[in-house]
Chains A and B, each alone.
Chain A
């Protein structure tokens, strides 16, 4: 290539911005591996492993949501279980009222629930977005440790509320007797449900990718790296971060709605701070701020949980040691280890 062409070609011009091929191929392997494993499990008749793949896809999706706030926006939210659990309860409550044919929340003019996933997803996006807006607005007034503790505290508030509100099972949780439905496909079919989950995961990954490559993403990146520079350029960091937090909450909420349908059960444990912590762990294990890091982290985490959990009852002890080792000595996570330093400069 001549030097003139070299200068005019936007890809070369932006050299560092183009995803490096190694990370790209690892991303492809992760997605193909997950889908391939589910399909293989289907043909082997191993329902447990199909559902495990669905679980990975859904947890990964929640982590994709968190990654947007934590990895790309630098907002260490210790309360994303609030959105995940809220999504779960939307699915659970909708199915509960549809089953009993009573109005939602017992309020006369409300509809009598629904078993349609599409409607449930829409409502989930709306309410988790609103919750994200409320929590984000209050929490972003602070920073640093305050932000961590406040997001944690708000999620705990939801947790205790779900525990003590008896109408929807309280601490016992709420069963979903029949998995909610989609037009045209049978969601009770294990592999079909996996494909629903995997499709939503890929859509959320695609959305993250487009967001982070856009002007908004550039502003969010600068808000994380140097908010003073962003403000000096004429863009207020707070609204940019708030919007990222809301989108992040919506993705996590949607994942929660799917998770409730996967398990046909929703309980306050989906709102627990342990889950918020695990989501952070997944994002970090995968490699913070890497687009496919959450998927890598979710695969690693769920497989460790399944296999180590099969070997020893105390697998979390070993998880703790691994995590401590990663934090103290191996920064960059799995994607950092596999794909080298992030090249997006």
Chain B
């Protein structure tokens, strides 16, 4: 039982890590290239989930819903960048925090206005229902496995985009020297809009995919957003590689902690107490890990400087 449980929990951790990577890569890219801290990133996650749920419910086609959800998140990202975000690039972090906090309020309440306060439900597509039989008698949800696979594809895609394409070259130049890319004749405004939209679309993808595992409701993006912050602080702000490593680390540690902390404590205290203390401590685990990493590396694992 234990081995199968461990493998299953590690897979769950990887699946959470995948979600976090989709969120964190956008955040870290936007910070690395434009120097912007965006609290409203969770709103794109939420937007992706709501649009996917709505389109899937109307058309009955999950894949169409997913596609429209991701595109919608990207388009909302473009609109937000054009209207608000581009006015914030030369502002201080405090202004960025405030303006994007205001965006959260607008998006959350706006979604309430449109959808009301009851959650939407999205079911797993027919093709991915049921579980997959793995070696050693382990079985694991097809859908969650597909999410992990998608995360791997996105990570490879981002790697290729950044290392092989012209856009990627401009992004790298932007991370190194913001003034220089202007001199290279790159249209910075368009580049910034594209990068922001890419981040928003990735967040939308995460939200759309997770919608089938949880209820789709207002505020669903916030816990994920804060975990994504932990991820990029651990990985080093601005580093995609850091976001990947941080996301997997946070996903696995958080998931395993929640299961195994109470199980460990049960060996030397009564079960009910072990459950409550274990769950309380495991909820703090990733933050303790973050503090420990920062104590040794103030700029994260892969941060510049």
The reply to whether A and B meet directly (CB within 8 Å) is yes
Cβ of B260 within 8 Å of any chain A Cβ, yes or no, is no
**Closest B-chain residue to A141, C-beta based?**
B298
B96 CB → nearest A CB, Å: 9
Cβ-defined contact, A146 with B298, below 8 A: yes
Cβ of B213 within 8 Å of any chain A Cβ, yes or no, is no
Once A152-B226, A160-B284 are accepted as A-B contacts, the answer to whether A317 and B98 lie under 8 Å apart by CB is no
- Please report the C-alpha to C-alpha distance between residue A280 and residue B112 in the assembled complex, in whole angstroms: 24
Cβ-defined contact, B283 with A161, below 8 A: yes
Cβ-defined contact, A320 with B287, below 8 A: no
Q: Name the A residues within 8 Å of B84 (CB-CB).
A: 324, 328
CB contact list, A289-345 vs B, under 8 A: 313-314, 316-317, 319-321, 323-324, 326-328
Cβ of B94 within 8 Å of any chain A Cβ, yes or no, is yes
**Closest A-chain residue to B278, C-beta based?**
A164
Q: Name the A residues within 8 Å of B295 (CB-CB).
A: 138, 141
Cβ of A277 within 8 Å of any chain B Cβ, yes or no, is yes
Main secondary structure of the interface of A (DSSP, over half): helix
Once A146-B298, A160-B283 are accepted as A-B contacts, the answer to whether A281 and B222 lie under 8 Å apart by CB is no
Cβ-defined contact, B280 with A164, below 8 A: yes
**Closest B-chain residue to A160, C-beta based?**
B283
Cβ-defined contact, B298 with A320, below 8 A: no
Cβ-defined contact, A165 with B276, below 8 A: yes
Chain B contact patch, size range: 35 or more
CB contact list, A144-198 vs B, under 8 A: 144-146, 148-150, 152-154, 156-157, 160-161, 163-167
Specify which of A141, A164, A167, A313 is in contact with B279 (CB 8 Å cutoff). Answer: A164
Cβ of B99 within 8 Å of any chain A Cβ, yes or no, is yes
Cβ-defined contact, B280 with A161, below 8 A: yes
CB contact list, B206-254 vs A, under 8 A: 222, 226, 229-230, 232-233, 237
B107 CB → nearest A CB, Å: 8
In the complex, which of the residues A70, A141, A166 has the most CB atoms of chain B within 10 Å of its own CB atom?
A166
Residues of chain A at interface, number, CB under 8 A: 42
- Please report the C-alpha to C-alpha distance between residue A273 and residue B42 in the assembled complex, in whole angstroms: 14
Q: Name the A residues within 8 Å of B142 (CB-CB).
A: none
Cβ-defined contact, A165 with B101, below 8 A: no
Q: Name the A residues within 8 Å of B189 (CB-CB).
A: none
- Please report the C-alpha to C-alpha distance between residue A156 and residue B286 in the assembled complex, in whole angstroms: 11
Cβ-defined contact, B106 with A324, below 8 A: yes
Cβ-defined contact, A321 with B102, below 8 A: yes
Main secondary structure of the interface of B (DSSP, over half): helix
Cβ of A246 within 8 Å of any chain B Cβ, yes or no, is no
Q: Name the A residues within 8 Å of B105 (CB-CB).
A: 316-317, 319-320, 323
A151 CB → nearest B CB, Å: 11
- Please report the C-alpha to C-alpha distance between residue A313 and residue B299 in the assembled complex, in whole angstroms: 42
**Closest A-chain residue to B300, C-beta based?**
A146
Once A145-B93, A148-B93, A314-B109 are accepted as A-B contacts, the answer to whether A153 and B283 lie under 8 Å apart by CB is no
- Please report the C-alpha to C-alpha distance between residue A154 and residue B276 in the assembled complex, in whole angstroms: 20
**Closest B-chain residue to A167, C-beta based?**
B276
Once A138-B294, A142-B298, A153-B290 are accepted as A-B contacts, the answer to whether A320 and B103 lie under 8 Å apart by CB is yes
**Closest A-chain residue to B105, C-beta based?**
A320
- Please report the C-alpha to C-alpha distance between residue A149 and residue B298 in the assembled complex, in whole angstroms: 13
Once A280-B98, A317-B113 are accepted as A-B contacts, the answer to whether A148 and B37 lie under 8 Å apart by CB is yes
Cβ of B31 within 8 Å of any chain A Cβ, yes or no, is yes
Cβ of A284 within 8 Å of any chain B Cβ, yes or no, is yes
Cβ of B97 within 8 Å of any chain A Cβ, yes or no, is yes
Cβ of B18 within 8 Å of any chain A Cβ, yes or no, is no
Cβ of B110 within 8 Å of any chain A Cβ, yes or no, is yes
**Closest B-chain residue to A313, C-beta based?**
B112
Specify which of A146, A161, A316 is in contact with B237 (CB 8 Å cutoff). Answer: A146
Interface string of A249-285 (1 = CB under 8 A from B): 0000000000000000000000001000100110010
Cβ of A78 within 8 Å of any chain B Cβ, yes or no, is yes
CB contact list, B71-114 vs A, under 8 A: 84, 87, 93-95, 97-99, 101-106, 108-110, 112-113
Cβ-defined contact, B229 with A153, below 8 A: yes
Once A76-B93, A317-B113 are accepted as A-B contacts, the answer to whether A156 and B287 lie under 8 Å apart by CB is yes
**Closest A-chain residue to B303, C-beta based?**
A146
Cβ-defined contact, B102 with A150, below 8 A: no
Q: Name the B residues within 8 Å of A154 (CB-CB).
A: 287, 291
Cβ-defined contact, B110 with A280, below 8 A: no
B179 CB → nearest A CB, Å: 19
Q: Name the B residues within 8 Å of A320 (CB-CB).
A: 102-106, 109
- Please report the C-alpha to C-alpha distance between residue A277 and residue B104 in the assembled complex, in whole angstroms: 11
Which 8 pairs, one residue from A and one from B, show the smallest C-beta to C-beta distance?
A: A320-B105, A317-B109, A157-B287, A320-B106, A323-B102, A160-B283, A324-B102, A165-B280
7 interchain pairs, CB-CB under 8 A: A152-B226, A156-B287, A157-B283, A317-B113, A320-B105, A324-B99, A324-B103
